Amino acid sequence: MLKKLFKAFTTVMVTAALVVGSAVNPGVASAKPLYDNTKLGKFFQVNQDTLNSKANGTLIRYRDIPNVLYPATRTLQFVFKTTNSHGKPIAASAVIVRPNQMRKNRPVMVYNDFINSLGVQCQPSFGFEAMAHTIAHLGQNEDYKGEIANRNSIAQVIARQNAANGIATLMPDFLGLKSAYGANVLGSHIILDAMRAVRRMQSMGLKNSNMVLAGYSGGGMAAAWAAAMAPSYAPELKIAGLAAGGFPVDLVWMGLTLGNNHNPGFGIAMASLLGLEREYPTRMNVNNRLSKKGKKLALRNRNACTPRVIDQWKSESITTTMNGVIVKHQKNELRVLYENSLTNFRGAPRIPVFIWGSEKDILVPLGQIKKVARHWCNARSNQRITLIDVQRSDHITNFSLGLGAAIKWVEGRYNNQSAPNNFCR
C-alpha cells in the first residue's frame, strides 16, 4: 500500500508544496474577480431560499458516478448546504467512495487533496466521470476532461487503495463551486459539512463510522483548519483524529518571504491570487491590476488544473504579470492572508493529532507548525499529539518519509486504540 501511494504522490507533490504562493497578494481591493466560466448544470444549482432554510450539512441531492479504477464500489457525487467565509449559505459538492462489501459503520478517511487549481471541475468529485470519459475515448478529448482526469488520478488511487482495504473515502471539493483556491475558512466549512452530509446518508451506513481527517501540504492545511474549526462550527461531529503533514500555517510569512522573485511554481501563486479574489471580491484587488501579459494568461487559464497552471506561468513573477505591485505594501490583501493562516486562529482540535514534517523544509518549516501544535496542546488539558521530524529539506521526500508512520497512526484511530503522545507535556 505504501509503495503504491508514494509512487502516485511523487508525480505532483511539488505543486502542493507551492500552495504557499497564495500569500503573494497585491493592492487595494475593488476589482471584479475573474471566475471560471464553466457551466456546471442543474445538478449543482440550488435556489438561495432553499439554502437559507436548510441546516449546514443538509444533503440536497446525489448521483452515482463511474469509478473505473475500482468498480466494486458505490461512488456518489453529492451537493449539500454549507456557508462561505462570510456566513452566507451556499451549495458545495463532494464525493464518497464506499466499497460494495463494506460493513456498516466501517472507517472513513476524509482525504483532502492538494487541489491547487482554478477550474471548478479540477476538484475530486469531478475526476471520476472525466477519467471514465478519457479511457473511453482513448485519451482523445475535445474538451479538457483529460486534464481533469490527470489532475484527479492521485485522489482516485487513494480511494481505490482504501476501498481495497474495506475503508470508505470522502473527498470534499473544498475550494467550492467558485474554485476559491487559498480560502481556508471556506474550505474548512465545506469539509465539515460534507462530513455531516455523509453521516446523514442512510444508504451509506456511515452514521457511526470513525472518520479521520487526512492530508499533506495544501491538503493538510485544509484538514488542519477543519479539525481546529470543528469544535465551534460542527461540535456534534465525531472525528477520530487528524493526520496532516507539511502544511502551511502562516501565509503572510510565506508571501513576504517569497516576495516578487521569479519562481518556477509561480502558476500556483497566481492561481491562489485569483482564487482568493473570488472569495473576497471587496478586499482583494488582483484582476484589474494584471499587466497586459498577465491578463492574457489569466483569461486563458481561468479554468486550469494544476499541470496547466504550472506550465503556463512557469517563467513568470509578480513583476512580469502585475502592474506596480510590491508585496509588503499590500495591507488589505495581507490581512486576508492573515485571516486564512492557522497561526492566527484561536480554535483548536479536540481530537488526537499526528503531524510530520521537517525543520529543514524551506517552504514549510516544521518550527512554524510546532507553534500551532503548542497552542493546540495548551488549549486542551488532555490533548495528544504525535509529531515527527523527518529531517530532510525536500518537500516530496518529507511526505514519503512520514507516510508509513502516518498510516499506522490512522489505523489506530480506526480501531479505537489509545492515541500516543510525544509532544504535549
CATH assignment at residue 350: 3.40.50.1820
* Residue 313 in domain: no
* Residue 140 in domain: yes
pLDDT tens digit sequence for 152-190: 998 999 999 999 999 999 999 999 999 999 999 999 999
* Residue 28 in domain: yes
* Residue 56 in domain: yes
CB 314 within 8 A of CB 267: yes
Is residue 11's pLDDT more than 60? no
The residue with greater pLDDT, 86 or 364, is 86
CB 142 within 8 A of CB 77: no
Cα–Cα distances in angstroms (integers) from residue 401 to residues 3, 386, 390, 391, in the given order: 11, 15, 6, 9
* Residue 323 in domain: no
Number of structural domains, the chain? 1
**Burial class of residue 253, CB neighbours in 10 A (0-12, 13-18, 19+):** middle
* Residue 393 in domain: yes
Band (pLDDT 50/70/90 cuts) for residue 393 is confident
pTM, two decimal places: 0.92
pLDDT tens digit sequence for 234-284: 999 999 999 999 999 998 887 777 656 777 778 888 898 899 999 999 999
408: which 3 cell numbers?
499506522
* Residue 372 in domain: yes
Give the dihedral sign, CA 198/203/209/211. negative
Average pLDDT value for residue range 194-215? 96
70 lies in which domain range? 2-251+339-414
* Residue 51 in domain: yes
